[in-house]
Amino acid sequence: MTKPLSTRFGRRAVLGFLMFGVADAALANAPVVSLLPLPKPADAQKRAVKSAEALVSAAKLGGKIGFAVADARTGEVLEVMNPLLPLPPASVAKAVTTLFAFDRLGAEKRFKTQLIATGPIQNGVLAGDLVLKGGGDPTLSTDDLFDMAASLKAAGVVSVKGKLRVYGGMSLIDRIDDGQPEHVGYNPAVAGLNLNFNRVYFEWKRSGDDYAVSMDARSEKIRPGVGFATTSIAARALPIFEYSGRNGRDNWTVARKALGNGGGRWLPVRRPEIYAGDVLQTVARSHGIKLPFPVVATEEPRGTVLVEHESASLEVIARDMLKYSTNLTAEVLGLHASGAPSLTESAQAMNEWLAETYAINKARFVDHSGLGGMSQIGAREMVKALVGAGAEGRLRSILKPFAVRDEDNKVVQKSPVTVMAKTGTLNFVSALAGYIRTLDGRDLAFAIFAADVPRRQALKKSERERPRGSRSWNGRAKKLQSQLINRWATLYDA
């Protein structure tokens, strides 16, 4: 009797038959198109980029928007929107001022502040006047005056028989922009002798039913009190601050109801030369030198230079100005570059310089910091200046790095795209201009200006420090700037 044939199949064999069956069934109805994903077109990423119009529409800023982007090396214009529309540049104006100052003064320019004796020193007593002479240094600090007083002591001076005179050598400009609130520290006076960016620190602390108040010229090391500026508490709710220049000093009153339990803030200085002399008198006392209260000298002093303080180079000063956007620095640099006696005339000199140097004929600056909202320039002309300054120029090297953000508006860490730029912000004005280096190393120059001028002009003077709605508006404007930069870095990469 024949036994039935029996076969034992291993696990691999069974799986093999199963897989063969699946494969056979699949092949019986093979698809016409491959199931594998097709390779994306080389320009797929560029095709996915949103249009500039869509980005601008989504920002919902109102007002006007103008931008331009060009190849920073050839000047080829790549994309624009309202490129010739004149709009406020805000602090982007400081980039233009930097170029102006570099051209007229040189990047290695340094400013000197001196202590000059108009008479001989006899047994520690200066027989004539001591003159604190400014040389236009916009960065002079309390610490610098402290060190100068130490050098004065080393020169053998312990007292002055004559007067302590202060001399700036420039016309005094009591504020940068008349349209700003009285008390904001970013709108100080401008002179040839400036200290602490012409700001004084006001501090208050509740003491029972009253307040203890003080004014000082604080620095990183010391906090000397000042006598030229005073503050008193007024029984009112508004205005928060009021100013008077009575008796040639800075006199402030502050509303009691605005103070709370305590705090402090920088107030603008309107008498910068007296301020500097006042602080010198105080810090000299700590070195054992007795000086009288300062008076302003009307003529340039002649005598022996006992002490001289030299600033950092203009390039270093400009780098810090662009980083921290210090208005006082911009105005001083612009005034020195032009040699003009007023901001209006000095700004006009810069306008003429732009026309001569870069063939920019429609820019209308009213100051050098951009604080005045009446300054105007088109995005295309701003880009023209950036291209003229050079893709590898000195300006680019001192601009501040601008954080690249992704689609969710989050900062991209170690982004292969780099942006060096100057920001600008006023109430309902946002600006950004500078240079982009794309992933493949192409250099672009760009400018983005956004402004809702009617909304800005409708603000009362008292509303201009923190107007309602400005924060959210500014946030949307900055998001748009990042989106446009990402668009250009993708579309116009090498």
For the chain, the domains span 47-108+313-491, 111-311
pLDDT of residue 21 exceeding 80:
no
Whole-number pLDDT of residue 460: 85
Whole-number pLDDT of residue 302: 95
Whole-number pLDDT of residue 41: 56
pLDDT of residue 5 exceeding 90:
no
Interior angle at CA 195, CA 191 and CA 201, nearest 5: 120
Q: Is 88 in contact with 375 (CB distance < 8 Å)?
A: yes
Whole-number pLDDT of residue 463: 79
| The domains spanning 47-108+313-491 and 111-311 adopt the same CATH topology | no
What is d(CA 258, CA 272) in angstroms, rounded to the nearest whole number?
27
**Tens digits of residue pLDDT in 307-321:** 999 999 999 999 999
Per CATH, the architecture of 47-108+313-491 is what? 3-Layer(aba) Sandwich (3.40)
**Tens digits of residue pLDDT in 208-239:** 889 999 999 999 899 999 999 999 999 998 89
What is the b/e burial string over 112-131, where b = at least 16 CB atoms within 10 angstroms of the residue's CB? ebbbbbbbebeeebbebbbb
Whole-number pLDDT of residue 364: 98
Strands 125-126 and 304-310, bridge-based pairing:
unpaired
Considering only 36-50, 241-255, 433-447, which range has the smallest mean pLDDT?
Answer: 36-50
Fold entry, domain 111-311: D-tyrosyl-trna(Tyr) Deacylase; Chain: A; (3.50.80)
Write down the pTM of the prediction. 0.89
Considering only 79-83, 195-199, 359-363, 457-461, which range has the smallest mean pLDDT?
Answer: 457-461
